[in-house]
A = this chain, B = another copy of it.
Amino acid sequence: MATKPGIPKGTRDFSPEEMAKRNYIFDTIRQVFHLHGFRQIETPAMENLSTLMGKYGEEGDKLLFKIQNSGDYFAGITDEELLSRNALRLAAKFCEKGLRYDLTVPFARYVVMHRDEISFPFKRYQIQPVWRADRPQKGRYREFYQCDADIIGSDSLLNEVELVQIIDAVFTRLGIRVAIKLNNRKILAGIAETIGEPDKITDITVAIDKLDKIGLENVNAELASKGISQEAIGTLQPIIQLSGSNTDKLSTLKGILAASETGMKGIEECESILRTLESLPVRNEVELDLTLARGLNYYTGAIFEVKALDVQIGSITGGGRYDNLTGIFGLPNVSGVGISFGADRIFDVLNQLDLYPKETPDGTQLFFVNFGEKEAHYALPILAAARKAGIRTELYPDAAKMKKQMAYANSKQIPFVALIGEDEMQEGKVTLKDMSTGVQQRLTPEELIASFQKQ
């Protein structure tokens, strides 16, 4: 007797109903990408470990799924090494390949390998799964999809503007109200420069982020506990309490960061992006937020993050400007900017807000009940003609009990049912039943097809 099968923890099967929802999300994002001239690429699931290792920090290296070499993977390893049982070191000998951890590093690798075929600026999108050997928990999976759009080879801020437009268009189409948060790595660097604490930027943003929860006094205490001087904390006060419109915030920052060239450059970038967006029909609010610090070591300019307004959940989209991503593969001085939509969280948000369209665009429209061999053979050419006319239709393959056949049609939410008996065959007709109204009509096959085309 076989044991009941399972799947690896942190992975999921997707049923037809779930796939319809996921495809709705992917198709919406894809359409917006196309409206902006982005084109799709795909890269292999497996990359050489030399491509992946060292790109995601020490913790990231541990979270890479490694693929054992085929054949004799013990070749070239001494007994001593084996007995050392050094899991990490020996993994590098047992395994040459790993599963991709994100879409960004493979994209950088792609750009470097194919630089001679690409005409820059390269606007690419990529929708593929990634894998991380993270501890699985609610909402965190070991296999999940990323939907990335990047523009590489242009440092124009119009690219940042375009990405905000894309974010706005995607969430408007999905019906999710969001706040689009904007920050700039150069402003953060300017702050650190101004208070003389260049390596405390993460501590500072983390502390500021807690203002609403723990209050100003506790934020200041936390900053002090991180070794930041009282003088620096004093300088930080207007930044911690930064409020008002984006213009107000930027004007406050200008005063504090006046002496920092980098800081002023960051402010100028934000101003330019926000000013351009003002002339455009952006539905969701774009808000300057200094607490955004994602991928600090990675991003060099703008940083984006998107929060759903009506659901409590982490960031559902993020991204930013990176000035030297391809440098790690030997192609320096290529600037890029990109965003990544978190399909799994968007899936949850749409579920919680019940925002999925009621009709599945790809579902069967017309179901033929099978009353027996003769009726089935009468029906088959009608099905063929209907499909030729673009109608999604199926005949139940067995002459099973009516109840069973109707249960099948209902489980697939098929809106129209065709019935064929003696009378219909004699008249050369089909009885069409509208399942939502119960209304029945006896139609010729041509009339049947025409009735769908009118809809």
Q: Are B68 and A91 in contact (CB under 8 A)?
A: yes
B-contact bits for A347-380, CB 8 A (1 contact / 0 none): 0000000000000001110010000000011001
| Residue contact A4 to B41, C-beta cutoff 8 Å | no
Chain B: minimal CB distance from A50 (Å): 8
Q: Are A387 and B35 in contact (CB under 8 A)?
A: yes
Contact A39 B19 (CB under 8 A): yes
Cβ of A258: which chain B residues have Cβ within 8 Å of it? none
Given A16-B124, A276-B377, also A47-B362 (CB < 8 A): no
Report whether B377 and A279 are in contact in the complex, using a CB–CB cutoff of 8 Å: yes
Please report the C-alpha to C-alpha distance between residue A283 and residue B355 in the assembled complex, in whole angstroms. Answer: 43
**Do residues A156 and B397 form an inter-chain contact, with CB atoms below 8 A?**
yes
Is A401 at the interface (CB under 8 A from chain B)? no
Q: Can you name the residue of chain B whose Cβ is closest to the Cβ of A110?
A: B13
Closest residue of chain B to A36 (Cβ to Cβ) is B394
Expressed in whole angstroms, the Cα–Cα distance for A113 and B13 within the complex equals 10
Q: Which of A82-90, A224-232, A263-271 contacts B (4 or more CB under 8 A)?
A: A82-90
Which of A71-79, A235-243, A418-426 binds B?
Answer: A71-79
Interface residues of A in 1-18 (CB under 8 A from B): 1-8, 11-16
* Contacting residues, chain B, for A244 (C-beta < 8 A): none
- A164-196 CB contacts (< 8 Å) to partner B: 165, 169
Interface 1/0s, chain A 85-123, versus B by CB < 8 A?
A: 101000100111101000000000110111001011101
Q: Is the CB of A280 within 8 A of B44?
A: no
B362 touches A34 (CB 8 A): yes
Give the shortest distance, in Å, between A105 (CB) and chain B (any CB). Answer: 10
Please report whether the interface of chain A is mostly helix, strand, loop or mixed according to DSSP.
Answer: mixed
Contacts of A117 in B (CB 8 A): 15
A41 to B13, Cβ gap below 8 A?
A: yes
Complex CA distance for A65 and B20, rounded to whole angstroms: 30
Stretch of A203-211, A291-299, A404-412, A429-437 contacting B (4+ beta carbons < 8 Å): A404-412
**A46 / chain B contacts, CB cutoff of 8 Å:** 8, 11, 65, 131, 142-143
In the complex, A158 has a CB within 8 A of chain B? yes
Q: Chain B: which residue is nearest A6 at the CB level?
A: B48
Q: Give how many copies assemble into the complex.
A: 2
* Contact assessment for A70 and B133 in the assembled complex, using a CB-CB cutoff below 8 Å: yes
- Nearest-CB distance from A168 to chain B (Å)? 10
Q: Which of B37, B384, B387 contacts A393 (CB 8 A)?
A: B37
| A41/B14 contact (C-beta < 8 A), A7-B47, A384-B281 known | yes
CA distance A5 to B274 in the complex (A): 38
Interface residues on A, range: 35 or more
Residue of B with least CB distance to A337: B397
Q: How far is the CB of A180 from chain B (nearest CB, A)?
A: 16
Asked if A387 meets B36 with Cβ closer than 8 Å, knowing A42-B13, A79-B83, A113-B13, the reply is yes
Q: Which of B22, B85, B280, B397 contacts A158 (CB 8 A)?
A: B397
> In the bound complex, do residue B390 and residue A35 qualify as a contact, i.e. CB atoms below 8 Å apart?
yes
Identity of the chain B residue whose Cβ is nearest the Cβ of A135 in the assembled complex: B70
A398 at the interface (CB under 8 A from B): yes
Q: Is the CB of B329 within 8 A of A2?
A: yes
A319, B254: Cα distance in complex, Å:
69
Tell me, rounded to whole Å, the shortest Cβ–Cβ distance linking A24 to chain B: 12
CA distance A123 to B393 in the complex (A): 12
Q: Does A219 reach chain B (CB closer than 8 Å)?
A: no
Contact A5 B329, beta carbon cutoff 8 Å: yes
Please give, as numbers and ranges, the residues of chain B lying within 8 Å of A124 by CB-CB distance.
16
Residues of the B chain whose Cβ atoms lie less than 8 Å from the Cβ of A442: none
11 contacts between A and B (CB under 8 A): A6-B113, A13-B42, A37-B393, A37-B412, A45-B131, A151-B397, A154-B398, A162-B397, A279-B377, A279-B380, A280-B380
Interface residues of A (CB under 8 A from B): 1-8, 11-16, 19-20, 22-23, 30, 34-37, 39-48, 50-51, 62-63, 65-68, 70-74, 79, 82-83, 85, 87, 91, 94-97, 99, 109-110, 112-114, 117, 119-121, 123-124, 129, 131, 133, 142-143, 151, 154, 156, 158-159, 161-162, 165, 169, 276, 279-281, 327-330, 362-364, 367, 376-377, 380-381, 384, 387-388, 390-398, 407-408, 411-412
Task: Name the 8 nearest CB pairs between A and B, nearest first.
Answer: A37-B394, A16-B39, A11-B44, A156-B397, A119-B411, A2-B330, A70-B133, A37-B364
